[in-house]
Structure 1
Amino acid sequence: MKVLYLIADGMGGWPLEELGGKTTMEAAHTPNMDALAKTGIVGRAQTVPKGMPPGSDVANMALLGFDPAVYHTGRGPIEAAAQGLKLGPDDLVWRLNLVTVSKLTIDGFMRDYSSGHISSDISRPLVSTLQEKLGNDTYTFHPGVQYRHLLVQRNGALTEDAALTINPPHDITDKSIKPDLRTFSKSPFLWDLIFEAKELLEDRDINASMANSIWPWGQGRPLNLPDFTENSGMKGAVISAVDLIKGLGNASGMDVIDIEGATGLLDTNYQGKVDAALDFLRENDFVFVHLEGPDECGHGGNAADKVEAISRFDARVVAPLRKALRDEETAWIVTCDHFTPIVERTHTMDPVPFIINGPGCEASGIESFSEKSADSTGLTLDNGHELLSFALKKLGLKK
């Protein structure tokens, strides 16, 4: 049996007046997810353990069957695993955003966590320049994708910097950066690095983009995860545009499939992801296909775009996979990692709706897949990292 695990990042949300009291999931056109929900098991899962931040790092780790309370060390280390960085056990890895702030003072605000969704061909040279000009024996800059990069602090886990709590920039859009600047000020060397980067980014000969500051956050020691195949009994792969998912795949021994044209936005290469998933499943068991688009639209506060992103996920990912595998014995797990409500423009702790569909699964009989319909079944998994195991048992693939 082939298992497809399909993730629409941030798909869940709250009712909106502009959508007549519907959520973006309810407003989206999702006939394929609706069909899978009607003939499968539907419920909710708490992907983020109590006391942990509701980030994609925590939630997707849980979706892959690893307890974040045990294995999570930070966002940065996961993305470092995607790049295969060689790290010491006491190194501190920071996720590093290129951001746009109104001004880098206590009166400043976070204007854009992504610097206008800066493209990789612009951002990577900028980060390379930061490394050339500011990198040293303690701090090294590592280019990533779009606005998402890394800062490695050699032996930083042995310093008080490891305990600093910095807000993810997507959590404070249009909000004051004063609390975070006060936190940064507790680390004199990191403080100096941030302001030296600001001066460098102000040079129009070097930087013509919206990026005017760096934002280190999500720091932690290097990531170590159990082997996915040993944990699940399946040979698996991950397909995503973002380093976060690739890092989880690399760290757990899964195949990581890169897709040309995968952007993490509405214009991503949907067909490329579908083709890659089908190709992998010809010889293997399990594929985790991740779409970032709904989450990005949620952070942007754009309900129409998020409805479109969810509709495209159904039409351009779920539909062609169902068609291609209609004569194969196939199991489906469809969900999101967390909610990204339009009104909040960031992640929340709500339990996520899920579908499990395949041989041995009883039909829910619900007519559509949404937050409300998932809640109506009364099935809730309090520990989200148990969702995969729960699904495999229902499908007869695990005792």
Structure 2
Amino acid sequence: MKLLYLIGDGMGGWPLEELGGKTTMEAAHTPNMDELARTGLVGRAQTVPEGMQPGSDVANMSLLGFDPATYHTGRGPIEAAAQGLDLEPDDLVWRLNLVTVSKLTIDGFMRDYSSGHIATDVSRPLVEALQEKLGNDMYTFYPGIQYRHLLVQKEGALSDDAKLAINPPHDITDKPIKLDLRTISKSPFLWDLLFEAQELLEDRTVNNSRANSIWPWGQGRPLSLPNFKETFGVEGAVISAVDLIKGLGHASGMEVIDVEGATGLLDTNYQGKVNAALTFLKEHDFVFVHLEGPDECGHGGNAEEKVEAINRFDAQVVGPLREALKEEDTAWIVTCDHFTPIVERTHTMDAVPFLLNGPNCEPSDVSEFSEKSADSTGLKLDKGHELLAFALEKFGMK
């Protein structure tokens, strides 16, 4: 049996007046997910444990079956795993955004957590320049993709810097940065690095993008996860545009499939992801396909674009996979990692809707796949990291 695990990142949300009281999931045209829900088992899962931040790092770790309360060390370490960085146990790995702030002062605001979704071919030279000018025995800059990069602090896990609680920049869009600057000021070396980076980014001979500051956050020790195949008995792969998912895959010994043209945005290479999943499933039994688009549109506060992102997820990923595998023995898990409500423009703690479609899944008597229909069934997994094991057992694969 082939198991497809399809994730619309940030797809869940709250009702909106501009959509006639519907959520973006309800407003979207999703005949494929609706059909899988009508003929399958529908419920909710709490992917973010109480007391943890509702980030994609925590939530996707849950979806892959690993308890974040046990294994999560930070956002940066997961993305470092994607790059295969050679790290020491006491290194502190920071996620480093290239951001746009109104000004880097206590009366400044976070204007854009992504510097206008800066392209990788623009951001990479900037991070390389930061490393050349500011890298030293303590700090090393590593370029990633788009606005997402890494900063490794040598033996930083032994310092008080490991305890600094700096807000993810997407959580404070158009909000003051005063409290975060006060937090960063507790680390003299990090404080100096922040302003030295700003000075370099202000040099128009080096930088013509909207990025005018770095933003370190999500720090932690290097990540270690159990082997996925040994834990769940299936050999799997992850397909995603973002290093976060690739890092979880690398750390758990899964195959990580890169797809040319996968951007994490509305214009991603949907067909490439579908083709990659189908190719992998010819010889293997499990694939985790992640789409970032709905989440990015949620952070942007654009309901129309988020509805379109969900439309495309259904029409260009779920639909083609169903058609290609209609003669195959298949099972399906479809869900999101967390909510990204338009009005909040960031992640929330809401339990996410999920559907299971396959053997032993008695239909839940719903007409569509949405937050409301999932809530109506009364099925809720309070520990979201148990969803995968629950599905495998239901499908007879464990």
Q: Say yes or no: does 1:188 pair with 2:188.
A: yes
Which residue identity does 1:155 align to in structure 2? E
> Which residue does 1:31 correspond to in 2?
31
> Which residue does 2:387 correspond to in 1?
387
**CA separation in 2, counterparts of 1:125 and 1:179?**
30
> Which residue does 1:160 correspond to in 2?
160
Deviation at 1:365, TM superposition (A): 2.3
> Which residue does 1:19 correspond to in 2?
19
> Which residue does 2:329 correspond to in 1?
329
Q: Say yes or no: does 1:140 pair with 2:140.
A: yes
> Which residue does 2:237 correspond to in 1?
237
Partner secondary structure for residue 49 of structure 2: coil
Question: What does 1:303-318 correspond to in 2, within 5 Å?
Answer: 303-318=303-318
| Residues 242-295 of structure 1: CA deviation (Å, up to 9, x unaligned) | 000000000000000000000000000000000000000000010000000000
Partner secondary structure for residue 194 of structure 1: helix
Deviation at 1:40, TM superposition (A): 0.5
Partner secondary structure for residue 85 of structure 1: coil
> Which residue does 1:279 correspond to in 2?
279
Which residue identity does 2:221 align to in structure 1? R
Partner secondary structure for residue 115 of structure 1: coil
Question: What does 1:193-232 correspond to in 2, within 5 Å?
Answer: 193-232=193-232
Which residue identity does 1:242 align to in structure 2? V
Is there any run of 5+ residues in structure 2 with no aligned partner, and where?
A: none
> Which residue does 1:129 correspond to in 2?
129
Deviation at 1:224, TM superposition (A): 0.2
Is there any run of 5+ residues in structure 1 with no aligned partner, and where?
A: none
> Which residue does 1:83 correspond to in 2?
83
**CA separation in 2, counterparts of 1:226 and 1:285?**
19
Q: Say yes or no: does 1:254 pair with 2:254.
A: yes
Q: TM-score, normalised by structure 1?
A: 1.00
Which residue identity does 1:54 align to in structure 2? P
Which residue identity does 2:364 align to in structure 1? S
**CA separation in 2, counterparts of 1:45 and 1:127?**
38
Which residue identity does 2:138 align to in structure 1? T
> Which residue does 1:179 correspond to in 2?
179
Q: Say yes or no: does 1:366 pair with 2:339.
A: no
**CA separation in 2, counterparts of 1:40 and 1:395?**
12
Q: Say yes or no: does 1:339 pair with 2:365.
A: no
Q: TM-score, normalised by structure 2?
A: 1.00
> Which residue does 2:95 correspond to in 1?
95
Deviation at 1:10, TM superposition (A): 0.0
Structure 1 segments, 4+ long, off by >2 Å, are none
**CA separation in 2, counterparts of 1:58 and 1:277?**
24
- Corresponding pairs, count: 398
Which residue identity does 1:37 align to in structure 2? A
**CA separation in 2, counterparts of 1:355 and 1:85?**
36
Which residue identity does 1:373 align to in structure 2? S
Partner secondary structure for residue 323 of structure 1: helix
**CA separation in 1, counterparts of 2:365 and 2:191?**
56
State which drifts further: 239-248 or 355-364.
Answer: 355-364
Deviation at 1:222, TM superposition (A): 0.2
**CA separation in 2, counterparts of 1:360 and 1:162?**
46
| Residues 133-165 of structure 1: CA deviation (Å, up to 9, x unaligned) | 000010000000100000000000000000000
**CA separation in 1, counterparts of 2:394 and 2:35?**
19
Identity %: 82
Which residue identity does 1:355 align to in structure 2? L
Which residue identity does 1:317 align to in structure 2? V
